[in-house]
């Protein structure tokens, strides 16, 4: 049984990794997609505007244009989503 548990952990890990988001480059006339990964498990909401308590991250599109994304902490909605699910 322990083996099965381990497998399940692996599956969850892969799911967690899939929180990456794809954005279009903001540079004029570019728009090439680039992948942005959240800085941690808590800051998973991406915004282009600087907000309080946001984490600033810069990403480069395939043409090396700099794109700045601010990551916001996810508001506690787990309880609500649980309600929806059950
Ligand atoms: Zn670009």
Give the pLDDT confidence of 35-75 residue by residue, as tens digits.
998 998 889 888 888 998 999 999 999 999 999 999 999 87
Ligand 1 centroid vs 72 CA: distance in angstroms?
23
Indicate whether 39 belongs to any domain: yes
Indicate whether 45 belongs to any domain: yes
The mean pLDDT of the chain is: 79
Domain count for the chain: 1
Indicate whether 16 belongs to any domain: no
- Amino acid 71: pLDDT: 94
Question: What is the C-alpha to C-alpha distance for residues 54 and 51, in angstroms, rounded to an integer?
Answer: 6
Q: Comparing C-alpha atoms, which of 35, 27, 33, 24 is closest to residue 57?
A: 35
Ligand 1 centroid vs 52 CA: distance in angstroms?
27
Ligand 1 centroid vs 22 CA: distance in angstroms?
13
Report CA Rg, the chain. Answer: 17
Q: Comparing C-alpha atoms, which of 26, 24, 44 is closest to residue 34?
A: 24
The two tokens of residue 53 are 């308590």
Ligand 1 centroid vs 49 CA: distance in angstroms?
18
Give the domain range for residue 71: 21-85
8 A C-beta contact, residue 34 and residue 46 = no
Residue 13 backbone phi and psi in degrees, to 5: -60, -45
Indicate whether 15 belongs to any domain: no
Ligand 1 centroid vs 58 CA: distance in angstroms?
12
């Amino acid at each position: 049984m322990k083996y099965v548990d381990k497998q399940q952990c692996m599956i969850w890990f892969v799911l967690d990794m899939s929180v990456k988001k794809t954005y279009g480059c903001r540079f004029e006339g570019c728009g090439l997609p680039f992948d942005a990964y959240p800085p941690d498990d808590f800051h998973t909401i991406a915004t282009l505007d600087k907000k309080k308590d946001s984490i600033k991250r810069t990403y480069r599109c395939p043409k090396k244009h700099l794109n700045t994304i601010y990551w916001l902490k996810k508001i506690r909605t787990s309880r609500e989503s649980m309600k929806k699910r059950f």
